[in-house]
Chains A and B, each alone.
Chain A
Amino acid sequence: MRTIACMEDLEKLAEQKRKENRGYSRTVTLCAGTGCCASGCLSVIKALREELERLKLKEKIKIRATGCHGFCEQGPLMVIEPGNIFYCRIKPEDIPEIVAETLQKDRLIERLMYTDPSSGRKIACEAEIPFYKAQDRTVLGQNKLVDPCAVGDYIANGGYSALVKVLTSMKPEEVIDEIKRSGLRGRGGGGFPAGRQWEYCRQAEGEPKYVICNADEGDPGAYMDRSVLEGNPHVVIEGMLIGAFAIGAKHGFIYVRNEYPLAVEHSKIAVEQAGKLGLLGTNILGTDFSFDIKIARGGGAFVCGESTALMASLEGMVGEPRPKDIHTTDKGFKDLPTNLNNVETWANVPFIINKGSSWFASKGTSGSKGTKIFALTGQIRNTGLVEISMGTTLREIIYDIGGGSATGKKIKAVQTGGPSGGCLPEELFDLPVDFEALAEAGSMVGSGGMVVMDEDTCMVDVARYFLEFLLDESCGKCVPCRIGLSRMLEIIKDITEGRGTEEKLELLKDTAETVSVASLCALGKTAPNPVLSTIKYFRSEYEAHIKKKQCPAGVCRELIHYSIDRDKCTGCGVCLTACPHEAITGEKGKVHRIEDDKCRKCGICGEACKFGAIKLS
């Protein structure tokens, strides 16, 4: 491959790739993100390859295995272009039919089409599916257009043109001004204005300067950064290149979570490809701008998402945060000026340069601009990644895009912002997604996790879950975070196990306040959010646990009780054999009973019973 030296070279390469693509009569795009891989897309792709080989259609039909399309619930997914035909939950056995019918005869296969659960209607077109229709997929939409391992795909879709524009016609200060005007704020959780941060770093003294892409996405229930890096690594690299040029940085790192093997692999390939094209390295595009990127695998510590901890980890040390009395833009990695943004922030940069800051600023609210990707998970019908304009309400996301509850039970809360975010009740679902609005309500936008909870979720248990998580992930360095969180967990455990008192609840609130005021880093400062927000909005549940010693949702083990409904039990004995703790007794044909002292409340009997005779109270 020749290196790219100017805009014309890039255009030529893009045109050449587009021409290649026009040679195919059909393109079959298959999602090969982690979610779809787990539901078996690789065997589907293999079957399709073999079938096309067998029918000698390889030259006519292009297979493109791409990154995540977002609609993980329906995986494995396929989109056939032209036609925008969407097939879901495909099995390898379906492939011969798809090739024979749809690809060769243009006939649709109804069985594989998406069924709109609210109307029962079959939908053939991807763009018509409600899940996609209500979104604004600026960044994520690119995923299905490119094979993450083929830089040509990215370039054919206009990739790296923003970089060329910046290097050939803009001054660093102009780039920073453009980003400032766009109103782009960090998508990693802090929400700090990116343009201003770049400017601080540019003005800071010390050489060389560094830029870092934070892909250590440790939030449970959130995977948008992984999907972008895994599905479209070049957009992240291009964003980093533009940022590095604006800041005057010479070296870059992508710090990626080791639990994301595909993202590690794809970003490594992409860096190599960009290097071969001369887009990374010395004298990029013949200018005096030089920049390189190294991939660093994270060791698996949630706190390394915190900027100072991440930088310590990059230096090969234990990832513990340090006090931020001096900003990392002044003294970061190796005590040199460092600018850190997360994957999604970097991925937005090329779009802002190409389409202009006013285009970006036209989306969103007064304080929060552009689009944001959320991972919509939990008890929701359409689990997946959604990208929406800032300012969209929670209700629109949960009901219009997410399709409402998965189980048919009433949705009672949504948890946003990851472990340090808060739980918002149904009454607040009309809140817009906006940095300030969510923070005021006691939660946050965070990196973009959105976990939907229905009536089967106990909010005290949720608070306990996040506390356990955070205490485990705390570095343990400072007193409020280490001891404070462990005291909070102690109290919450007491509450969920029936030993709670009013005084303990007050102590819980006092401790939470101290932890948020006095902790060293952002992990500790925000750690009490799940507890404080659940006390604020779901106090009645706490009171039920404390006063009545009951868990209304039937989750807290010490407060629940399994028994057998005499009217429904047929004495079939299935539960008796299924119970791993020999807690069920009874004769064949007669009503069985559960011995409380042996029952460990695992719920296996309930799963096994075909008659719904296992009662939970």
Chain B
Amino acid sequence: MTTADAKRVDTILKGREGASGELIEALQDIQDAFKYLPEEALRSVSEKMAVPLIEVFRVANYYKAFTLQPRGRHLLTVCMGTACHVRGAPRFLDEVLGQLDIKPGETTEDGDFTVETVNCLGACALGPVVVLDGKYHDHMTAGKLRALIQGTLSKKAKKTGDR
């Protein structure tokens, strides 16, 4: 972690010294700032907020909102809610995981994609739903999703080509 990063963590923890009850809120702010929870940040959380390191580690591992590894450039969230399930979400999830050769929650080796599952986005009318970088894509099928991923990848290839 650079000094600048350490300063960012310090700013987040300011006013929370010793306030163990705010642990989750503090970690959420760090997650928002860094997109993941760096180990050093967690160590300084433990120190400043007076929470045992194992508790910080436990909380960071327990909740879905937190990741201990940096996420990929693109985040694909697949809704696995009941409504999406009965409309066929598992079939294309397998497909996309096979295509990218990762498991849910993992990032591809080249750092392009992270695929995560979510229990329900509450957009059941549009199901099956996936969210790619914050944009909702409705009524997904294996074929449509494949095209979506390839489209995102080729955009990237084009950009690097232009350069």
Q: Which residues of A contact B (CB under 8 A)?
A: 34-35, 37-39, 72-73, 75, 218-223, 226-227, 258-260, 296-302, 313-319, 375, 377-379, 383-384, 415, 419, 449, 451, 453, 457, 462, 465-466, 469, 473, 578, 580, 600, 602-604, 607-608
**Docked CA distance A602–B88 (Å):** 10
- Across the interface, B83 reaches (CB within 8 A) one of A221, A227, A419, A607, namely A221
Given the known inter-chain contacts A299-B62, A378-B83, A603-B142, please indicate yes or no for A38 contacting B94, CB distance below 8 A: no
Given the known inter-chain contacts A299-B62, A580-B95, A604-B142, please indicate yes or no for A218 contacting B119, CB distance below 8 A: yes
7 pairs across A/B with beta carbons < 8 Å? A220-B119, A221-B120, A297-B25, A299-B62, A300-B65, A465-B90, A604-B141
With A223-B120, A415-B82 already in contact, 13 other A-B pairs whose C-beta atoms are closer than 8 Å: A38-B123, A38-B126, A218-B119, A223-B122, A297-B25, A298-B63, A315-B20, A316-B23, A318-B62, A377-B82, A383-B83, A457-B86, A604-B95
**Docked CA distance A223–B121 (Å):** 8
Interface residues of B in 34-78 (CB under 8 A from A): 51, 55, 58-59, 62-66
Pairwise interchain contact A602-B82, C-beta atoms closer than 8 A: no
Separation in Å of the A613 CB from the closest CB of chain B?
16
Separation in Å of the B51 CB from the closest CB of chain A?
7
Pairwise interchain contact A602-B91, C-beta atoms closer than 8 A: yes
Given the known inter-chain contacts A75-B125, A259-B121, please indicate yes or no for A299 contacting B64, CB distance below 8 A: yes
**Chain B contacts for A301, CB-based, 8 A:** 62-64
Pairwise interchain contact B22-A316, C-beta atoms closer than 8 A: yes
Q: Which residues of B contact A (CB under 8 A)?
A: 20-25, 27-28, 51, 55, 58-59, 62-66, 80-88, 90-92, 94-95, 98-99, 118-127, 129, 136, 138, 141-143, 146
**Docked CA distance A457–B122 (Å):** 21
**Chain A contacts for B20, CB-based, 8 A:** 315-316
**Chain B contacts for A38, CB-based, 8 A:** 121, 123, 126, 129, 136, 138
Pairwise interchain contact B64-A300, C-beta atoms closer than 8 A: yes
**Chain A contacts for B55, CB-based, 8 A:** 317-318
Separation in Å of the B70 CB from the closest CB of chain A?
18
**Chain A contacts for B94, CB-based, 8 A:** 600, 602
Q: Which residue of B lies closest to A260 (CB)?
A: B122
**Docked CA distance A607–B95 (Å):** 14
**Chain A contacts for B59, CB-based, 8 A:** 299, 316-318
Q: Which residue of B lies closest to A40 (CB)?
A: B136
**Docked CA distance A314–B82 (Å):** 28
Pairwise interchain contact B122-A462, C-beta atoms closer than 8 A: no
**Docked CA distance A603–B127 (Å):** 17
**Docked CA distance A302–B24 (Å):** 16
Given the known inter-chain contacts A220-B119, A602-B95, please indicate yes or no for A300 contacting B63, CB distance below 8 A: yes
**Chain B contacts for A222, CB-based, 8 A:** 120, 122
Q: Which residue of B lies closest to A600 (CB)?
A: B98
Pairwise interchain contact A580-B146, C-beta atoms closer than 8 A: yes
Q: What 4 pairs across the A-B complex have the smallest Cβ distances?
A: A299-B63, A223-B122, A300-B64, A72-B125
**Chain A contacts for B65, CB-based, 8 A:** 258, 297-300
Residue of A258, A419, A466, A473 with highest tally of chain B CB at under 10 A: A258
**Docked CA distance A607–B120 (Å):** 25
**Docked CA distance A221–B122 (Å):** 6
- Across the interface, A258 reaches (CB within 8 A) one of B28, B83, B124, namely B28
**Docked CA distance A580–B55 (Å):** 45
Pairwise interchain contact B81-A220, C-beta atoms closer than 8 A: yes
**Chain B contacts for A449, CB-based, 8 A:** 82
Given the known inter-chain contacts A38-B138, A297-B28, A607-B141, please indicate yes or no for A315 contacting B82, CB distance below 8 A: no
**Chain B contacts for A223, CB-based, 8 A:** 120, 122, 124
Q: Which residue of A lies closest to B61 (CB)?
A: A318
Pairwise interchain contact A299-B87, C-beta atoms closer than 8 A: no
**Chain B contacts for A35, CB-based, 8 A:** 122-126
**Docked CA distance A449–B124 (Å):** 11
**Chain A contacts for B25, CB-based, 8 A:** 296-297, 316
**Chain A contacts for B118, CB-based, 8 A:** 259
- Across the interface, B86 reaches (CB within 8 A) one of A39, A419, A453, A469, namely A453
Residue of B85, B90, B138 with highest tally of chain A CB at under 10 A: B85
**Docked CA distance A313–B27 (Å):** 13
**Docked CA distance A218–B123 (Å):** 13
Pairwise interchain contact B99-A377, C-beta atoms closer than 8 A: no
**Chain A contacts for B129, CB-based, 8 A:** 38
Q: Which residue of A lies closest to B94 (CB)?
A: A602
Pairwise interchain contact B91-A378, C-beta atoms closer than 8 A: no
Q: Which residue of B lies closest to A418 (CB)?
A: B82
Pairwise interchain contact A39-B126, C-beta atoms closer than 8 A: yes
Separation in Å of the B42 CB from the closest CB of chain A?
14
Residue of B24, B80, B95, B125 with highest tally of chain A CB at under 10 A: B125
Pairwise interchain contact B125-A317, C-beta atoms closer than 8 A: no
Q: Which residue of A lies closest to B23 (CB)?
A: A316
Pairwise interchain contact B143-A608, C-beta atoms closer than 8 A: yes
Given the known inter-chain contacts A226-B122, A449-B82, A451-B86, please indicate yes or no for A316 contacting B142, CB distance below 8 A: no
Pairwise interchain contact B82-A220, C-beta atoms closer than 8 A: yes
Separation in Å of the B147 CB from the closest CB of chain A?
10
**Chain B contacts for A227, CB-based, 8 A:** 122
